[in-house]
Chain A
Amino acid sequence: MELINQHTKKIMEGCKERARAAGLTFTDESLEYIVTNRDLIELSPKVMIPTLYDYWVHDVEVLRGKGEYELYPHNPYETVINTRPPISFYNDNNPDWLNVMIFYHVLGHIDFFQNNLYFRHTWEYDFTGQALSDKRVIAKLRAEKGRWVDYILEFARSIDNLVGYHQELSPLFAAPESSCSSRLDYYFDVFLQVEKKLPVGEYLKELAKYNEAKAANPQEGERQFFAEVAIKYPEMEAHFAKSAGAKRVERRDLLRFLVENSEFLARDENVWMRSVLEVVRKTSIFFQPQIRTKIMNEGWASYWHEKLFLVDDRISGHEVDFARVHAGVTSMPRVGMNPYALGMRLMSFIKESGDAGKMGYDFQRIADADKRKRYDTKAGLGDEAIFRVRADYCDYLFIKDFIDQDFTDRHDLFVTGKRLDQQRMVWQYYVKSRDAGQYRDMVLASLYHPPNIEIAPERGEGGALYLVHHFEGKQLVQEYIANTLIGVEFLWGAPVQLETSEAVVEAPRGREAGEEPEITWQRVVYTMKDKALSRKVL
Chain B
Amino acid sequence: MKDPGKYLDELKAQGVAPEREARFREELAVVREIRSDPRRGPFPDFARGLYAWHDLAVLQHQERVANPYVAQMKALDELLERDRQREQDGFPRKIRVGRLIKPGKAGKGKIVVVPSTEEEKLIHDPTIRPPGEGGATGGSGKGDEGEVIGEQKVRETGEEPGAGPGQGEGEAHELDASAYELGRVLTEQFQLPNLKEKGKKKSFTRYVYDLTDRNRGSGQILDKKATLRKIVETNIALGNLPDVSDIDPTRFLISPRDKVYRIFSQEKDYEPQAMVFFLRDYSGSMAGKVTELVATQHVMIYSWLLYQYAGQVESRFILHDTEAKEVPDFHTYYNSRVAGGTEVASAYKLVNELVEKENLAADYNIYVFHGTDGDDWDTGGDKSIPELVKILSYVSRMGVTIAEHSGTQWTEVARYLENSGLLRDKADLLRLDVMTEDAEEARVIDGIRKLIS
Residues of chain A at the chain B interface (Cβ within 8 Å): 37, 40-41, 44-45, 56-57, 59-72, 74-80, 89-91, 94, 98, 101-102, 105, 109, 147, 151, 154, 157-162, 291, 294-295, 298, 325, 328-329, 332-340, 342, 411-420, 422, 425-434, 439, 442-443, 445-451, 453, 469, 472, 474-484, 486, 498, 503, 505, 507-511, 516-519, 531
Interface of A is mostly: mixed
Partner of B59, one of A72, A105, A508: A105
Partner of A340, one of B51, B53, B67: B53
Question: In the complex, what residues of A have CB within 8 A of residue B123's CB?
Answer: 69-71, 161, 450-451, 476-477, 480
B130 and A159 within 8 A (CB): no
Question: In the complex, what residues of B have CB within 8 A of residue A472's CB?
Answer: 124
Q: List 18 A-B contacts (CB under 8 A).
A: A56-B79, A60-B79, A60-B117, A66-B170, A91-B61, A109-B55, A147-B85, A157-B121, A334-B141, A337-B45, A338-B53, A420-B154, A425-B153, A427-B134, A430-B149, A431-B149, A483-B92, A511-B29
Supposing A105-B59, A147-B82, A160-B121 touch, asked if A413 and B130 sit within 8 A by C-beta, the answer is: no
B28 and A511 within 8 A (CB): yes
5 smallest CB-CB distances across A and B, nearest first, come from: A336-B45, A418-B134, A79-B55, A77-B54, A77-B56
Docked Cα-Cα span, A320 to B36, in Å, equals 38
B131 and A295 within 8 A (CB): no
Docked Cα-Cα span, A479 to B406, in Å, equals 14
A340 and B89 within 8 A (CB): no
Asked whether any CB of chain A lies closer than 8 Å to the CB of B43, the reply is: yes
Residue of A nearest to B142 (CB): A412
Asked whether any CB of chain A lies closer than 8 Å to the CB of B193, the reply is: no
Docked Cα-Cα span, A142 to B3, in Å, equals 62
Indicate with 1 or 0, residue by residue over B314-332, a CB within 8 angstroms of chain A CB atoms. 0000000000000000000
Asked whether any CB of chain A lies closer than 8 Å to the CB of B432, the reply is: no
B154 and A425 within 8 A (CB): yes
Residue of B nearest to A80 (CB): B55
A-B pairs with beta carbons under 8 A, tally:
354
B68 and A41 within 8 A (CB): yes
A78 and B51 within 8 A (CB): no
Question: In the complex, what residues of B have CB within 8 A of residue A469's CB?
Answer: 122
Docked Cα-Cα span, A94 to B149, in Å, equals 37
| B133: min CB distance to chain A, Å | 6
| A104: min CB distance to chain B, Å | 11
Docked Cα-Cα span, A491 to B152, in Å, equals 47
Residues of chain B at the chain A interface (Cβ within 8 Å): 5, 22, 25-26, 28-32, 34-36, 38, 41-43, 45-51, 53-62, 65, 67-69, 72, 75, 79, 82, 85, 89-92, 94-96, 99-100, 114-155, 162-163, 167, 169-171, 173, 175, 339
A417 and B136 within 8 A (CB): yes
| A323: min CB distance to chain B, Å | 15
A60 and B43 within 8 A (CB): no
Question: In the complex, what residues of A have CB within 8 A of residue B54's CB?
Answer: 75-79
Residue of B nearest to A474 (CB): B124
Question: In the complex, what residues of B have CB within 8 A of residue A450's CB?
Answer: 123-124
Supposing A342-B138, A433-B145, A508-B131 touch, asked if A63 and B117 sit within 8 A by C-beta, the answer is: yes
Docked Cα-Cα span, A439 to B139, in Å, equals 9
B136 and A415 within 8 A (CB): yes
A64 and B171 within 8 A (CB): yes
B122 and A418 within 8 A (CB): no
Question: In the complex, what residues of B have CB within 8 A of residue A474's CB?
Answer: 124-126, 128
A37 and B170 within 8 A (CB): no
Docked Cα-Cα span, A482 to B171, in Å, equals 24
B140 and A509 within 8 A (CB): no
Supposing A428-B151, A442-B136 touch, asked if A519 and B130 sit within 8 A by C-beta, the answer is: yes
Supposing A474-B126, A476-B124 touch, asked if A422 and B142 sit within 8 A by C-beta, the answer is: no
12 more A-B residue pairs beyond the given contacts A159-B122, A333-B138, A429-B151, with a C-beta to C-beta distance below 8 A = A60-B116, A63-B118, A147-B82, A334-B139, A414-B139, A416-B46, A417-B133, A417-B135, A451-B122, A475-B125, A478-B125, A517-B131
Partner of A61, one of B56, B116, B120, B149: B116
A335 and B46 within 8 A (CB): yes
Question: In the complex, what residues of B have CB within 8 A of residue A333's CB?
Answer: 45, 138-140
Interface of B is mostly: loop
Supposing A69-B125, A518-B130 touch, asked if A339 and B53 sit within 8 A by C-beta, the answer is: yes
A484 and B121 within 8 A (CB): yes
Supposing A102-B59, A427-B151, A434-B145 touch, asked if A416 and B125 sit within 8 A by C-beta, the answer is: no
B136 and A481 within 8 A (CB): no
Partner of B137, one of A90, A159, A337: A337
Question: In the complex, what residues of A have CB within 8 A of residue B95's CB?
Answer: 60
Docked Cα-Cα span, A534 to B3, in Å, equals 42
Docked Cα-Cα span, A477 to B75, in Å, equals 30
| A527: min CB distance to chain B, Å | 15
| A14: min CB distance to chain B, Å | 19
Supposing A68-B169, A431-B146 touch, asked if A519 and B138 sit within 8 A by C-beta, the answer is: no
Docked Cα-Cα span, A433 to B167, in Å, equals 28
Question: In the complex, what residues of A have CB within 8 A of residue B90's CB?
Answer: 531
**Most chain-A CB neighbours within 10 Å: which of B122, B145, B152, B163?**
B122
B59 and A161 within 8 A (CB): no
Docked Cα-Cα span, A65 to B126, in Å, equals 11
Residue of B nearest to A435 (CB): B145
Docked Cα-Cα span, A429 to B38, in Å, equals 12
B47 and A517 within 8 A (CB): no
Docked Cα-Cα span, A445 to B124, in Å, equals 11
Supposing A339-B53, A531-B90 touch, asked if A451 and B124 sit within 8 A by C-beta, the answer is: yes
A335 and B120 within 8 A (CB): no
Docked Cα-Cα span, A197 to B160, in Å, equals 63
Docked Cα-Cα span, A420 to B34, in Å, equals 9
Partner of B117, one of A57, A449, A505, A516: A57
Partner of A413, one of B72, B79, B139: B139
A503 and B139 within 8 A (CB): no
A416 and B137 within 8 A (CB): yes
Question: In the complex, what residues of B have CB within 8 A of residue A427's CB?
Answer: 36, 41, 134, 151-154
Docked Cα-Cα span, A79 to B82, in Å, equals 34
A426 and B151 within 8 A (CB): yes
Question: In the complex, what residues of B have CB within 8 A of residue A486's CB?
Answer: 91-92
Docked Cα-Cα span, A31 to B22, in Å, equals 66
Question: In the complex, what residues of A have CB within 8 A of residue B25's CB?
Answer: 509-511
A476 and B122 within 8 A (CB): yes
B124 and A449 within 8 A (CB): yes
Docked Cα-Cα span, A60 to B83, in Å, equals 13
Supposing A37-B65, A102-B59, A335-B43 touch, asked if A507 and B26 sit within 8 A by C-beta, the answer is: yes
Partner of A418, one of B51, B56, B136, B155: B136
Residue of A nearest to B95 (CB): A60
A430 and B148 within 8 A (CB): yes
**Most chain-B CB neighbours within 10 Å: which of A59, A337, A417, A434?**
A337
Residue of A nearest to B139 (CB): A416
Partner of A70, one of B126, B146, B149: B126
Supposing A57-B117, A61-B116 touch, asked if A439 and B138 sit within 8 A by C-beta, the answer is: yes
Question: In the complex, what residues of A have CB within 8 A of residue B49's CB?
Answer: 68, 70, 337, 446
A507 and B30 within 8 A (CB): yes
Residue of A nearest to B25 (CB): A510
